[in-house]
Chains A and B, each alone.
Chain A
């Protein structure tokens, strides 16, 4: 815990140097939900105000919670990690008595804390402007909070495992782009998972991506029933266990490969 406090403080100080970047990030976090929200509202309106179980205020609620959840769970370490490997910055970190993953976690957490006020403001703005209606019960919150944390852990672990591709090639960008494209379709960013057409929906509930974003967002807006929500959270736990095992295996193999080319 002491280590984390120190890492967080250092990260915070470092981040203070990048205020403009932060402003841009918050600005862009507006754009995507607004586009999809506007599009789905238009589609819903043309179909008598409703698609599946979603009417316009429900869409608004989903994209509001999705904006918050995306902010909380997102990870971008694959980009940083490739840079660290390429620039030789990883080697000194490997020689400290602390796993490099902790620096990444600290960066991640600080960035989120730092931008959270602005993102909450964005969410409130969206909720008011688009007349969001939340069907959230107290138990939705009780399950939703662990669900968001699980989603964050899942997102981070997958991203960090993906980042270790940098141990084998310096072209991580191609891998992350592919990964992000697939994730974009199946994570619930375009539409709530329950609205995806038949086979796509099945795939979406099997793949891990929905458990990072769409699932916690839908629970928080009060979408699923209690039984459904418990099943979804259980799905998150299963994927997290898989992700952690995967990460351990890839990390060890990666370090060997890194060693083979000269670290």
Chain B
């Protein structure tokens, strides 16, 4: 087994939030006496990551993914438990530690808005004390992988969201970190840009051997990049293991979305799977994964004259996890203990 770079044991984070009821009276009262409520964002998780792994961190909004990444990168102080990254305690934020990590958040920027990215990169070079030859080599590599050449000399505020994300990636990686924490790196990007970013992350990991822990609520990101996934929900780790096992286990069905022609209002669809939504001409049917191809084929043949459009999709990850969490939790226990 290669070197352990992330070691998380019984890690917890509790936020303190102020609470206030509606209305003027409550507002006035809260000036003098604040009421607090504790919110457990991460409740005792354990996992380890070895050097060079690409691990996907899956879960719906508010599951605790970002909180965990912030604890691992040193922004947040854990309420209890322990996180060690590269053998260090992240919250101390020792400069030597910070030089070896990066945290990229899809919705945050670290570039100076008004100046071209290449000027921001120079500042980063000096802050991280990157020697000139290594800086040039890394920048050349990033420029090639991300096709940055036409973007570097434009002020950042004139870049599109997708362009800016590419430049942010370069800014976050120009110091060649050994570990990259990527939080929703494809958030808000169009599909082709998502694909480009994924290709980049995969290629970057292959070339540099950097360890990558990536959160996303797009299943596609994770499928494309990660052999191993961690599923977190309500702050608890539900699954830690191979992605291939996860897909079948957590989403043993596919969604077939149909658009029917006007004449087909009353047509019976129950024979193909469970109809979960029916809104005029649009219908969603849940079909077991292992017979998806066969049943969809049958459906197309049977309904062909009335069928305007059809698509077969994986269910959204939030729905899958929520479903698993509420109804099938027991089936996950063996997987957790197996690892």
The residues of A with any CB-CB pair to B shorter than 8 Å are: 2-3, 5-7, 9-10, 13-14, 17, 88-89, 91-98, 256, 259-263
Contact = CB atoms under 8 A, between A and B. Distances in A.
A14 B112 contact: yes
Interface of B: 15-17, 41, 67, 70, 73-77, 91, 93, 95-96, 98-99, 101-103, 105, 107-110, 112-115, 119-120, 122-128, 155
Contact of B98 (A5, A95, A259, A262): A95
Given A14-B115, A93-B110, A259-B91, 13 more contacts: A6-B125, A7-B126, A10-B115, A13-B115, A91-B75, A94-B74, A94-B93, A97-B96, A98-B95, A259-B77, A260-B15, A261-B16, A261-B17
B113 to A, nearest CB: 8
B81 to A, nearest CB: 15
B76 A95 contact: no
| A6, A89, A96 interface centre (most CB from chain B within 10 Å) | A96
B202 to A, nearest CB: 24
A5 B108 CA distance: 26
A91 to B, nearest CB: 6
B258 to A, nearest CB: 42
Contacts of A259: 75-77, 91
Contacts of B122: 6, 9-10
Contact of B15 (A7, A14, A88, A262): A262
A148 B63 CA distance: 52
A246 B105 CA distance: 32
Contacts, number: 88
What is the interface of chain A mostly: helix, strand, loop, or mixed?
Answer: helix
Contacts of A10: 112, 115, 119-120, 122-123
30 contacts: A3-B127, A6-B127, A7-B126, A9-B122, A13-B115, A14-B113, A14-B114, A88-B107, A88-B108, A92-B103, A92-B108, A94-B75, A94-B93, A95-B74, A95-B93, A95-B98, A95-B102, A96-B98, A96-B124, A96-B127, A97-B98, A97-B99, A97-B127, A259-B76, A259-B91, A261-B16, A262-B70, A263-B70, A263-B75, A263-B76
